[in-house]
Chains A and B, each alone.
Chain A
Amino acid sequence: MMAEVKRIVLAEDNPEDVELTLSALAEHNLINEVIVVSDGAEALDYLYARGKYARRMPGNPAVILLDLKMPKVDGLEVLRAIKKDDRLKTIPVVMLTSSREEPDLIESYELGVNAYVVKPVDFQRFIAAIKELGTFWAILNEPPPLVGRPHV
């Protein structure tokens, strides 16, 4: 059984996309704790519990929904950083992006992404996709055991 609240990190720079995603999550009661960061730098700040997020609740999120195209630090760089770090590499990362470009797919999988989902244009499908993702990662899936507290 869950020991703590399963957090979802949503890294997305486009506010509309954020709103749509959150409403999709809400529709399936997955809104428990969704942390929204608007670019890669913020995402890393959160994961390392530094800067703006220095005083957040400790522990890794259950899943990270990562957009590719973000300012400052883009999705692939965040992915690379996560998978390189022993403390973070166990966090499941789902690429949630508009791009179906092969190079992006290849790069993401080579870096060790757990899933790659292309955002459907059709909103209904989008909701369905979000629901499936949320249900799987945040509810069904057993998260990796805690490796240790992130640096404060």
Chain B
Amino acid sequence: MPEANPIDSSIQRRIFAGFTVAFAVLVVIATLSYFVFQKLIETNQLVKHTYKMLNELEATFSLVKSAETGQRGYLLTANIEYLKPYDLAVDSLPQQLARVKELTEDNLVQQSRLSLLEKHIANKLDDLKGTIQVRKNQGLAATQEIVVFGKGKTSMDAIRQLISDMQNEERDLLKHRETDVSTFLSRTVSLLVVGGLMQLVLFLGIYYLIKRDMAARQRAKQVLEEALAYTQTILETVREPLLVLDKDLRVKTANRSFFETFVVSKAKTERALLYELGDGQWNIPALRRLLEEIIPTHTEVRDFEVDTEFPHLGRRTMLLNARILYRPGNNTEMILLAIDDITERKKAEEALRARSIELEAINKELEAFSYSVSHDLRAPIRHIDGFVDLLQRHAASALDEKGVRYLKTISQSAKKMGRLIDDLLVFSRMGRSELYKTSVDLDQLVKEVLQDLLPDLQGRHIAWSVGALPVVWGDASMLRQAFVNLIANAVKYTRTRPEAVIEIGRGTGNDGEAVMFVRDNGVGFDMQYAHKLFGVFQRLHSVSDFEGTGIGLANVRRIIHRHGGRTWAEGTVNGGATFYFTLPVTEEAL
């Protein structure tokens, strides 16, 4: 699963949160509104109730009044017509009072008033009834007395008062309720307004977030497109053939190098099954195994070798790298195959190996050769010398001076040949044998060499000057040989000097190398022939002047070269000579 764009998920979360809050607010608003409506309905009911009550009370009062009026009319006129409203009122009053009673069910105070009212009304009615009877029976004058002195008016007043009280009570109640409701309403309305505003803000916020989200997606898409273009350019420029396969091993894309290398067309390659490509050149069991079994478990395989016959190309060895790719955008798995034709490289490696083996064999031959030389050549030489010697003793008397000289020459030549062979063997060993490299303290080495040469220095006056020499990395015995040769030479070629001066020291060199020299004040040499100095068996002096085979410096050069150094010399005829050489130094010495 590709990682979600972090911007995406935080925006999405915020949008979700926003919607949740908005929804919650909506629910709250709805609930509040419900309560508000309930309250309004309730209040409405109460108002209706109150007005109903007021009406009924008014109606009650009006009935009583109507009864009174009727009674009065009758009293005045004795017209029964006036009794109609009275009768009606009297008839209606119980029901009327009952209605009022119904309406006061919830109010104890009103109920007690009502009972009082009922009582007064009853009294009043009785009173009216009485007076009517009196009028009926005794005439007008009799009634006047009752009316003037009767309780009629007090009852009426009481009734009026009670009704007024009850009405006021209702009105008060109403007023209270109205205040309650209005406070409730104002609070609720403000809440609702706030809620509404919040909703508005929330929705604006959500809208803004959604816009941001979309912008982010747009940007991501653009980045992706640019990245794709970028990768595509890389793919096309890469020299290695590349293949992108989908999970079913069909080719999704191949780069230009692939088409060119395997000589296939784009049309034939894309969407084709890998194993069908180019006459099934990829239908190799090992490759099938790789792709179908190994890749799902390992997601990457490197350096998988495939050796097969390719049309247009012939038999080739290919090195494959395969890797699972996740293609951005549609979350599918793909396989990237990188192909490297290593046929040439393998051939070169083979050739190298063969050459190595050849060289090995040649080396072995050389070893055998020098072994044979060391044994087989020496023996006859020894015999020559030996038998010449025996001859000399045996036939000394039979030989004249010339004869003796001839024999001596033969003997000397044989000896010389022996020396030459020995020198050559040493020289060849210097070139053949393995360097056993260690840290070599040249100070110590030179001291030992001088010690060893002591016997040869008997009777010589030599002024030695040995400077501080570094520690180098090399073969100790070979380096010893080099110093022996150089110092022995110095000793030899200063033989003509009464006071020889031999200097061994270190010069200044480049980083990582030490320059050393052996200087003497001997017979020196002509710089014209300096290039011959280090040659094999090359000498610049005759054997009669200075003995030697001319192998010493050649050995020195060989040894130093094997250590990665250089050799050179400076000298003047009869003015001494200096022999320089360089050696790589160890870090400790620096």
Q: Does B518 contact A (CB under 8 A)?
A: no
Q: Does A6 contact B (CB under 8 A)?
A: no
Q: Are the C-beta atoms of A98 and B382 separated by less than 8 Å? A: yes
Task: From B378, B386, B411, B414, give the contact of A16 (CB < 8 A).
Answer: B386
Q: How far is the CA of A127 from the CA of B389 in the complex (A)?
A: 10
Query: Given A16-B387, A20-B387, A23-B390, A121 and B382 touching (CB < 8 A)?
Result: yes
Q: Does A68 contact B (CB under 8 A)?
A: yes
Q: How far is the CA of A127 from the CA of B371 in the complex (A)?
A: 25
Q: Are the C-beta atoms of A20 and B374 separated by less than 8 Å? A: no
Question: Which 5 residue pairs across A and B have the least CB separation, nearest first?
Answer: A121-B418, A20-B386, A123-B386, A123-B389, A98-B378
Q: Mark contacts of A31-43 with chain B using CB atoms, 8 A cut-off: 1 yes-contact digit, 0 otherwise.
A: 0000000000000
Q: Does A90 contact B (CB under 8 A)?
A: no
Q: Are the C-beta atoms of A122 and B415 separated by less than 8 Å? A: yes
* Known pairs A20-B386, A98-B382, A126-B386 / 17 extra A-B pairs, C-beta < 8 Å: A16-B386, A17-B379, A17-B382, A20-B382, A20-B383, A20-B387, A68-B375, A69-B375, A97-B375, A98-B374, A98-B375, A99-B371, A121-B382, A123-B385, A123-B388, A123-B389, A126-B385
| B379 proximity list for chain A (CB < 8 A) | 14, 16-17, 98
| A17 proximity list for chain B (CB < 8 A) | 379, 382-383
Query: Given A16-B387, A17-B383, A101 and B378 touching (CB < 8 A)?
Result: no
Q: Does B381 contact A (CB under 8 A)?
A: yes
| B381 proximity list for chain A (CB < 8 A) | 121
Distance (Å) between the CB of A118 and the closest chain B CB?
A: 9
- Residue of B with least CB distance to A119: B382
Distance (Å) between the CB of A50 and the closest chain B CB?
A: 29
Q: Does A56 contact B (CB under 8 A)?
A: no
| B414 proximity list for chain A (CB < 8 A) | 121
Q: How far is the CA of A120 from the CA of B378 in the complex (A)?
A: 9
| B425 proximity list for chain A (CB < 8 A) | 100
| A98 proximity list for chain B (CB < 8 A) | 374-376, 378-379, 382
Distance (Å) between the CB of B365 and the closest chain A CB?
A: 15
Q: How large is the interface on B (under 10, 10 to 19, 20 to 34, 35 or more residues)?
A: 20 to 34
- Residues 105 to 124 of chain A near chain B (Cβ within 8 Å): 119-124
- Residue of B with least CB distance to A14: B379
Distance (Å) between the CB of A13 and the closest chain B CB?
A: 10
Q: How far is the CA of A100 from the CA of B378 in the complex (A)?
A: 11
Q: Are the C-beta atoms of B386 and A100 separated by less than 8 Å? A: no
Q: How far is the CA of A47 from the CA of B414 in the complex (A)?
A: 36
Query: Given A16-B387, A23-B390, A123 and B374 touching (CB < 8 A)?
Result: no
| B390 proximity list for chain A (CB < 8 A) | 20, 23, 123
| A20 proximity list for chain B (CB < 8 A) | 382-383, 386-387, 390
| B371 proximity list for chain A (CB < 8 A) | 99, 101
Q: Are the C-beta atoms of A124 and B389 separated by less than 8 Å? A: yes
Q: Are the C-beta atoms of A122 and B418 separated by less than 8 Å? A: yes
Q: How far is the CA of A69 from the CA of B371 in the complex (A)?
A: 11
Q: Mark contacts of B199-230 with chain A using CB atoms, 8 A cut-off: 1 yes-contact digit, 0 otherwise.
A: 00000000000000000000000000000000
Q: Are the C-beta atoms of A121 and B375 separated by less than 8 Å? A: no
- Residue of B with least CB distance to A118: B378
Q: Mark contacts of B384-414 with chain A using CB atoms, 8 A cut-off: 1 yes-contact digit, 0 otherwise.
A: 0111111000000000000000000001001
Q: Are the C-beta atoms of A101 and B418 separated by less than 8 Å? A: no
Task: From A16, A100, A127, give the contact of B374 (CB < 8 A).
Answer: A100
Q: How far is the CA of A98 from the CA of B375 in the complex (A)?
A: 5
- Residues 13 to 33 of chain A near chain B (Cβ within 8 Å): 14, 16-17, 20, 23
Q: How far is the CA of A97 from the CA of B382 in the complex (A)?
A: 11
